[in-house]
């Protein structure tokens, strides 16, 4: 038994879907179905429409529905049959749709892609021309010739974009009209029904001609993105031939023209010029080339305590301030618990530029090399001589090496008062970033306690007065373990609120 199915329009997806779902449910093979949408598709023997099989429709998978909705708008006369064949095959092979090496799947994707491209080009190449309505308010009319049956598919885009203006899009086979409140579709039109000019077209052509660079002609590229078939309705396309013709002479003219001399300059604005020499202009090692900026030390020149870290991190590099990233936040927490006011101490790093390895869209911290530390040491030395602190707290191996000029094992040497080669007191401790990297609870707990102990020892040596919170109350002291788990849980940018166990 064969079926002749009449659809109401060339893009009648709903009609096709309802019929196909029942035919497939009844097991009607693809060869037995003839589709007719009134556009010449498959009407070889012009049979009268058949009643549909009286069975509940077969559910159509969503992924197939979305694909079919586009493919059905294609001008190909075999599209309904192709889609039905694919739907029929899907009943016995549900995973078939993901196999793009299958001929039917591949063909359906190709149709959908052509339609999607035609739709996209319509959103790009429709050109509206203004007309005055009877009440003199403006309306906009466009004449467009799509390759496929895409007007109903595409018109909602223009409504979303131009909801506040009255417009019509005329095509040979159908037309769409938006009156500011509802979208209506009507019969096909002809080019003569659309206006033949617009007061802004001359300006648009001026723009098109001026934005074109004659020194870089790439005509094939233009044609692949703006296919010639669309040119007849693009006002600017009239300029293409003369622009190409004159391009070479224009470019040769530019190359041959005499070069200008540097004109005398009046006193105008000049951006702030950094002083020659000085830290910001340092090129003693290659790190400056990849970093955003140098991150100098910060703090009062008469600070009694100086903390030296390793190098700026991602955040410090962006903000130009030391210890503002995850390590800085952990340091802040430790200072608070040690009752030290951050604004009274001087904070700096052994290396003043961020050393990192780009990885996709991220920058991974890399330990500075001995050469980087060496190149940067004059700057650190100058800071130490300027501030002359009572104590230098060197956090981590890099800082310890920079301050003491020798290799130091942090684990073995931390917590003991040492001295640098000019006799200043130096204390070595963990770097906060090292605490963030520890994995077990026990390790974290132990290292955090040591870190706090070292900070307090440095504070006492420097004789810094205890810093109490503004409200005069003693700082809350949750059990050390709880403090650890909240401070060391993650390297989140913002400190987390206390979580009591």
Q: What are phi and psi of 175, to 5 degrees?
A: -140, 155
- Kindly tell me which of 56 and 271 has the beta carbon lying closer to another protein: 271
Question: Minimum distance between the CB of residue 327 and another protein, rounded to whole angstroms?
Answer: 17
Q: What are phi and psi of 419, to 5 degrees?
A: -140, 150
- Note the maximum CA span of the chain: 107
What is d(CA 359, CA 231) in angstroms, rounded to the nearest whole number?
44
Instruction: Give the other-Cβ count within 10 Å of 58's Cβ.
Output: 17
Question: Minimum distance between the CB of residue 233 and another protein, rounded to whole angstroms?
Answer: 12
- Kindly tell me which of 306 and 324 has the beta carbon lying closer to another protein: 324
- Kindly tell me which of 271 and 277 has the beta carbon lying closer to another protein: 271
- Kindly tell me which of 181 and 422 has the beta carbon lying closer to another protein: 181
What is d(CA 58, CA 127) in angstroms, rounded to the nearest whole number?
43
Least Cα distance to 399 among 292, 303, 384, 444 occurs for: 384
Question: Minimum distance between the CB of residue 453 and another protein, rounded to whole angstroms?
Answer: 35
Question: Minimum distance between the CB of residue 246 and another protein, rounded to whole angstroms?
Answer: 10
Question: Minimum distance between the CB of residue 58 and another protein, rounded to whole angstroms?
Answer: 22
- Kindly tell me which of 94 and 475 has the beta carbon lying closer to another protein: 94
Least Cα distance to 29 among 3, 62, 58, 63 occurs for: 3
**β-bridge partners, 417:** 427
Question: Minimum distance between the CB of residue 123 and another protein, rounded to whole angstroms?
Answer: 6
Question: Minimum distance between the CB of residue 126 and another protein, rounded to whole angstroms?
Answer: 5
Q: Residue 364 is inside which H or E element, if any?
A: strand 362-365
Does the CA dihedral 169-171-176-177 come out positive or negative? positive
Q: What are phi and psi of 495, to 5 degrees?
A: -65, 140
Lookup: tokens for 100: 């793009």
**DSSP symbol at 301:** T
Question: Minimum distance between the CB of residue 285 and another protein, rounded to whole angstroms?
Answer: 14
Question: Minimum distance between the CB of residue 23 and another protein, rounded to whole angstroms?
Answer: 25
Least Cα distance to 90 among 20, 183, 7 occurs for: 20
All residues at 6 or more sequence positions from 76 whose CB lies less than 8 Å from its CB, including other chains: 82, 111
What is d(CA 480, CA 396) in angstroms, rounded to the nearest whole number?
22
What is d(CA 138, CA 154) in angstroms, rounded to the nearest whole number?
23
**Burial (CB count within 10 angstroms: exposed 0-12, middle 13-18, buried 19+), residue 37:** buried
- Kindly tell me which of 51 and 358 has the beta carbon lying closer to another protein: 358
Does the CA dihedral 264-269-271-274 come out positive or negative? positive
- Kindly tell me which of 202 and 446 has the beta carbon lying closer to another protein: 202
- Kindly tell me which of 360 and 472 has the beta carbon lying closer to another protein: 360
Question: Minimum distance between the CB of residue 56 and another protein, rounded to whole angstroms?
Answer: 30
What is d(CA 95, CA 64) in angstroms, rounded to the nearest whole number?
11
Lookup: tokens for 413: 């040497």
- Kindly tell me which of 353 and 444 has the beta carbon lying closer to another protein: 353
Question: Minimum distance between the CB of residue 364 and another protein, rounded to whole angstroms?
Answer: 9
Question: Minimum distance between the CB of residue 450 and another protein, rounded to whole angstroms?
Answer: 33
- Kindly tell me which of 129 and 337 has the beta carbon lying closer to another protein: 129
What is d(CA 389, CA 123) in angstroms, rounded to the nearest whole number?
68
**DSSP symbol at 448:** H
- Kindly tell me which of 321 and 369 has the beta carbon lying closer to another protein: 321
Q: Cβ(176)–Cβ(128) under 8 Å?
A: no
- Kindly tell me which of 140 and 451 has the beta carbon lying closer to another protein: 140
């Amino acid at each position: 038994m064969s079926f002749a199915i009449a659809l109401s329009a060339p893009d009648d997806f709903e009609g096709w879907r309802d019929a196909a779902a029942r035919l497939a449910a009844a097991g009607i093979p693809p060869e037995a179905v003839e589709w007719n949408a009134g556009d010449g598709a498959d009407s070889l023997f012009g049979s009268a429409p058949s009643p549909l099989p009286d069975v509940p429709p077969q559910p159509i998978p969503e992924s197939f529905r979305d694909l079919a909705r586009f493919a059905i708008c294609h001008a190909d006369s075999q599209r309904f049959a192709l889609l039905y064949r694919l739907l029929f095959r899907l009943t016995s092979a549900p995973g078939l749709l993901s196999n793009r090496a299958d001929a039917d799947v591949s063909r359906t994707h190709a149709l959908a892609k052509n339609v999607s491209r035609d739709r996209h080009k319509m959103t790009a190449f429709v050109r509206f021309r203004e007309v005055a309505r009877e009440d003199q308010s403006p309306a906009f009319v466009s004449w467009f010739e799509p390759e496929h049956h895409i007007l109903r598919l595409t018109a909602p885009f223009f409504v979303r974009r131009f909801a506040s203006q009255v417009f019509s899009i005329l095509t040979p086979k159908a037309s769409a009209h938006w009156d500011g409140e509802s979208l209506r579709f009507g019969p096909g039109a002809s080019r003569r029904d659309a206006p033949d000019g617009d007061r802004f077209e001359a300006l648009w052509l001026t723009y098109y001609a001026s934005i074109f660079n004659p020194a870089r002609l790439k005509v094939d590229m233009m044609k692949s993105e703006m296919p010639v078939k669309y040119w007849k309705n693009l006002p600017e396309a009239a300029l293409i031939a003369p622009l190409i013709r004159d391009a070479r002479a224009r470019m040769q003219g530019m190359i041959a023209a005499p070069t200008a001399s540097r004109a005398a300059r009046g006193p105008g604005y000049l951006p702030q010029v950094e002083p020659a020499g000085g830290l910001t202009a340092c090129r003693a090692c290659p790190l400056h080339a990849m970093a955003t900026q140098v991150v100098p030390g910060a703090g009062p020149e008469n600070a009694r305590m100086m903390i030296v870290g390793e190098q700026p991190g991602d955040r410090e590099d962006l903000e130009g301030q030391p210890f503002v990233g995850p390590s800085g936040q952990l340091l802040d927490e430790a200072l608070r618990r040690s009752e030290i006011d951050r604004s009274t101490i001087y904070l700096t790093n052994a290396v003043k530029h961020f050393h990192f390895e780009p990885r996709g869209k991220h920058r991974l911290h890399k330990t500075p090399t001995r050469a980087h530390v060496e190149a940067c040491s004059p700057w650190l030395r100058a800071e130490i001589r300027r501030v002359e602190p009572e104590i230098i707290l060197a956090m981590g191996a890099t800082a310890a090496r920079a301050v003491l000029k020798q290799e130091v094992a942090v684990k073995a040497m931390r917590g003991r008062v040492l001295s640098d080669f000019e006799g200043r007191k130096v204390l070595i401790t963990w770097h906060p970033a090292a605490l963030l990297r520890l994995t077990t609870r026990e390790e974290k707990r132990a290292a955090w306690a040591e870190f706090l102990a070292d900070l307090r020892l440095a504070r006492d040596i420097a004789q810094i007065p205890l810093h109490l919170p503004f409200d005069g109350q003693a700082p809350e002291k949750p059990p050390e373990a709880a403090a650890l788990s909240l401070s060391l849980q993650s390297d989140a940018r913002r400190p987390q609120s206390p979580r009591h166990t």
